[in-house]
Amino acid sequence: MASQASTPLPGKHLKAPVRVTKEPFHVYEPRATPTLARAFQTDPIMTYAINKVPKTLRPAALEKLMHLVLTTGLLKDATFYESGTLSTVEAEHPESAEAKYQCVGIFIPPGEKAQDLNARGWWVLIKHGLLPLTRRTGVNGLLRLVEEYPSVADPAKGKVFAKGEPYYYLLIVGTDPDHRGRGLCAAIIREHQKVLQETGIPIWLEASNRDAMAVYLKCGFERVAGEYLVGKGKCDSKGEKAKGTEATGSEIFPMVWWPVGYVKRKAQQ
């Protein structure tokens, strides 16, 4: 069973309505995966995960990786969004406009962690191509995403959240490079913020570059204090293999959004 809702959002920076997609995975995934693969083709963290793969083969590896990210979202009961710019005709009746998938975003609900999978979850990922991808990236490539990355990002949560405090996690959001600068990412985030303002639940994310951080700041997110480096001693700031002084690692920027009127609990740190 499938349903779509389209909600035009106000604001001078938002030129496109956001559609909340609740379609079967086999409908959503084929359109969302290519968008994410294009969006993250130069992302430092994704590059770090697949930098063992020859550059000519990376687009295919990245597309398979994004397929697995989407599958993980499915396993975690995520909310899937897409957004796209509208033509003049479509803008007159946005509720009937076709889904564009120019930008896609996935939010995981409270109590779930992407890397925490049971045996069934890992088996599903294996059926969706985990082993062939791991043969390309090496086991270390997988571990960089499911172990190293969380070990860097998760401690920041203790600076803002109390133990057991619920929050939504922005697993991933990306805009096709041909459609950037049109407010599509911000539109998706603000759509979810509208929902969570009603329920009073914060949002957590990690920006993988300063440009992304700037977008999130405009959406009301706060940066968590501290320096958080992934791949230090193993990669440069772009995620490519490096040694010595060039192996600075790639910086990520943990951020949090609080609903208006939210009463913060005592943080763990």
**Does residue 104 form part of some domain?**
yes
Domain span at 135: 3-257
Distances (CA, A) of 157 to 151, 196, 255: 11, 19, 9
pLDDT in tens, 166-181: 999 999 999 999 999 8
Helices marked H in the chain: 25-39, 44-50, 58-75, 88-92, 119-127, 130-137, 139-143, 149-157, 184-199, 210-218
> What average pLDDT does range 236-247 have in this prediction?
97
**Does residue 265 form part of some domain?**
no
For residue 48, the model assigns a pLDDT of 98
Cα distance between residue 254 and residue 207, in whole Å: 6
**Does residue 266 form part of some domain?**
no
**Does residue 180 form part of some domain?**
yes
CATH of the domain at 102: 3.40.630.30
Kindly give the interhelix angle for 58-75 and 119-127, rounded to the nearest 10 degrees: 140
For residue 46, the model assigns a pLDDT of 98
**Does residue 264 form part of some domain?**
no
For residue 27, the model assigns a pLDDT of 80
- 231 backbone φψ class: left, alpha, beta (φ>0; ψ -120 to 50): left
| pLDDT of residue 236 exceeding 50 | yes
pLDDT above 90 coverage of the chain, percent: 79
Torsion of CA 154, 158, 163, 164, to 10 degrees: -40
Residue 253 confidence class, pLDDT cut points 50, 70, 90: very high
**Does residue 263 form part of some domain?**
no
Closest C-alpha among 236, 211, 192, 242 to residue 7: 192
Predicted model pTM: 0.90
Kindly give the interhelix angle for 119-127 and 130-137, rounded to the nearest 10 degrees: 80
Structurally, how many domains does the chain consist of?
Answer: 1
**Does residue 269 form part of some domain?**
no
**Does residue 178 form part of some domain?**
yes
Cα distance between residue 215 and residue 219, in whole Å: 7
| pLDDT of residue 92 exceeding 90 | no
